[in-house]
Structure 1
Amino acid sequence: MGVLGLIMASTVQATVVEVRTALGNVQINLFDEETPESVENFLDYVNSGAYANTVIHRLEPGFVAQSGGFVYNGMFPLDSVPTGTPVINEPTLSNVRGTIAMAKLASSPDSATSQWFINLSDNSANLDVQNGGFTVFGQVLGNGMEVLDAIEDLPRFNLGGAADSIPLQDYTNADANNDVEVTGDNLVIITDVVVTDSATVTNPDIVPVENTLIDAATPDVPGSGNNSSGGGSLGFFLLSLALVCRWVKFKRS
């Protein structure tokens, strides 16, 4: 274990937030000390209420569930979350299962704003080195991944734009084929994200996994595994696409 690992093992400064979803609540231990800029950025959105009534707009089973970009205000199309200045990349920790990380634009390491994703599996071999490495800034606590697993099991539908892989509840392929209207009841809505513990040190037993791959990564070049549009990284290319696509117009509820 390196010096960073020893520091992590001795103390972990952490704010705890609760992501409140239609399928259950998920508590997340933020790594204030290891990724201070990213945590501050995330908490700015949390404390402003920007994440209230956001939706999980992209699901890639075995990869990630993404949110933080679009708000449901009782009708379609969804509203975009207003974003501030992009945050500097902090690829210190590893994208293992159960971690939360910042989403960003392809080939732009310092472009993250409001959107985030939770790793549904160990994506370290890909996301720890791609696009400058993806900033992990927290870890799901307790049985929170059971909620994410339930979301992962939902069917996905292509509603266009950033919602080309959106999970829906109580909605079937037959509904889609019969043009049944998608309503708020079908969305996986995050009613709010709130701070539940702002203590300087919380859950000191958690030892985040260090990103040991980033220093050995080669620069992004055409055809390399580190380029976000290169072969072997289609999953993240689709993830990044969610940040630049416009939401298509839906039927009003």
Structure 2
Amino acid sequence: MPVLRAVLFDLDGVLTPTAELHMRAWERLFAPFSTERGLAPYTSADYFAHIDGKPRYDGVATFLASRGVELPRGTADDAPGEDTVCALGNRKDEIVNRIFAEEGISPYPGSVRFLDAVTAAGAAVAVVSSSRNTPAVLAAAGLADRFTVVVDGNVAAREGIPGKPGPDMFLRAAELLGVPPVAAVVVEDALSGVQAGAAGGFGLVVGVDRGVGPEVLREHGADLVVRDLEDLDAAVLDAPAREGGAA
């Protein structure tokens, strides 16, 4: 029987190429925002350093802090705009949903093959994503029926679960699957995600390098880094699990 009995997948950048769409949406939001306010130009490095993998409003707040901008937090009901953190976050959500509608969503072929391999080997699987768009993305990508456990931004808000880089969302998914953390694999492409996996005592943290860089992923907690999940198969479930993470 495999040592590792569950695989916890991030969504954007791991199962679907939606991380790229999110990157473009953040750029459409913050590039003009920065220019209009005379701030340092927004770049892709800001996405990886301040936004990637975090709950949407936390990403807004972290980016604003990096530029010394203070705005009131506001509430999730704020109309899309620029007067509060939540208003900016809601504006970004409008932008990305427009991109989804215009361009559609397809999963990474290599990720689907890896998902097929680990489920055929008997592993339980879950999606753990900070995005509140997770149900729509999974449905659009044809993956909704592959996961009975989804811990996303909606679940986190409803249950009061802290977001990444804390391990709490992954821990909740493992709990729902009935698997101890040391018997689960975390698969992430974001620095905040691999940090979460490392902090939660999971058996293995796999980093998928979609642009962050393999060394940076390892520095933040990835035990193993691949360029695409097509580079892995079900043999990863036989990796020796160790308390606090695999070597």
TM-score, structure 1 as length reference: 0.31
Q: Which of the pair is proportionally richer in helix?
A: 2
Q: Which of the pair is proportionally richer in strand?
A: 1
TM-score, structure 2 as length reference: 0.31
